[in-house]
Structure 1
Amino acid sequence: MPVLRQITTCTEPSTVVIERRALARDRSVDYRLEVCRRHRWLASNWPGRRSAEGSGGQCGTVTDYRPFAEIVQSHADLWLRALTANGPEDHDGDLAAALRAGSELLTAHREPSGVAIALEHAARIAEAVTAGALPPSEGQAQVLAALSAAETLDAGARGA
């Protein structure tokens, strides 16, 4: 099931498409990122084939077909670590602990932002999955939705 991510709040149509072909047999594409001319610098963090073919969607839209763990790692590598200076690997692979630590860092000296609240929500969902209170596939989808919301809120706050 593809996951829709929005890494900018830009409403311009995309002019560049970055698509990474999958090595997995169960899917042909890992992800597809669309960006406008002004935000094409974001593509430098996303390896893949670049073209204008199929562009015209909204800038910052990522359609992600990778498995849960790879999408979470992408969030950690490309966004969470830069924002909160930690990721799951800093917490023995515990996603909930990394998200909670990120939320706490963002709220340490100020009122909770939408980003911090979304990270805390994602942490609570991850804990519920670990505790068996939510089925893994449903919980993972909810974690990814919360992370996507947090990433979009952060993009808006940064003016991206």
Structure 2
Amino acid sequence: MPILRQITTCTESSTVVIERGVRARDRSVDYRLEVCRRHRWLADHWTGRRRTVDAGGRCGTVTDYRPYAQIVRSHSDLWLRALTAHGPEDHAGDLAAALRAGYEFLTSHREPTGVATALEHAARVAEAVTAGTLPLAEGQAQVLAALSMAETLDAKVRGA
């Protein structure tokens, strides 16, 4: 199931597409990132076949086909750690603990923002999956949706 991520709030059409192919039985693409000319620097963190298009989709759109663990790692490496200084590897691989620590970091001196609230929700869902109160696949989909929303809200706040 692909996950849609939005890493900019730019409404321009994309002019650069990065698509990373993979030879997996269940998919032929890992992800597809689309950015406009002004935001093409964002593509520096994404590897794959780079091509120029006349007018593609919306700038900042990432369609992510990778497995759950790889998408979580991408969120952590490219966004969560920079925002909160926490990642799962700082918490013995515990995603819920990393998200909870990120929430606490973001709210330590101010009221919760939409970004912090989405992180806290993702932490609660991850905890429910670990506790077995949510089925694994459904819970993972909810965690990724909450992370995607948090990342999108953060892009909006930063004006990216």
TM-score, with structure 2 as normaliser: 0.97
Name the SS for the 2:24 alignment partner: coil
State the one-letter code of the partner of 1:149: M
Post-superposition offset of 1:22: 1.3
Q: Does 1:21 align with 2:21?
A: yes
User: Equivalents in 2 of 1:51, 1:32: separation in Å?
Assistant: 11
Q: Does 1:138 align with 2:138?
A: yes
Name the SS for the 2:63 alignment partner: strand
Residue number in structure 2 paired with 1:103: 103
Residue number in structure 1 paired with 2:90: 90
State the one-letter code of the partner of 1:158: R
Post-superposition offset of 1:23: 3.6
Name the SS for the 2:9 alignment partner: coil
Structure 1 pair 18–54 and aligned structure 2 pair: CA distance change class (3 A):
farther
Aligned residues: 160
Gaps (5+ residues) in structure 1? none
Q: Is the 8 A contact 2:19 2:31 kept in 1?
A: yes
User: Equivalents in 1 of 2:103, 2:17: separation in Å?
Assistant: 32
Q: Is the 8 A contact 1:102 1:119 kept in 2?
A: yes
Gaps (5+ residues) in structure 2? none
Q: Is the 8 A contact 2:14 2:53 kept in 1?
A: no
Structure 1 pair 74–133 and aligned structure 2 pair: CA distance change class (3 A):
same
Q: Is the 8 A contact 1:34 1:55 kept in 2?
A: no
RMSD, aligned α-carbons: 1.0
State the one-letter code of the partner of 1:143: V
TM-score, with structure 1 as normaliser: 0.97
Deviates more, 1:23-32 or 1:67-76: 23-32
Q: Does 1:123 align with 2:153?
A: no
Matches within 5 A, 1:22-101: 22-53=22-53, 55-101=55-101
State, as a whole percentage, how many aligned pairs show the same letter. Answer: 80
User: Equivalents in 2 of 1:80, 1:22: separation in Å?
Assistant: 25
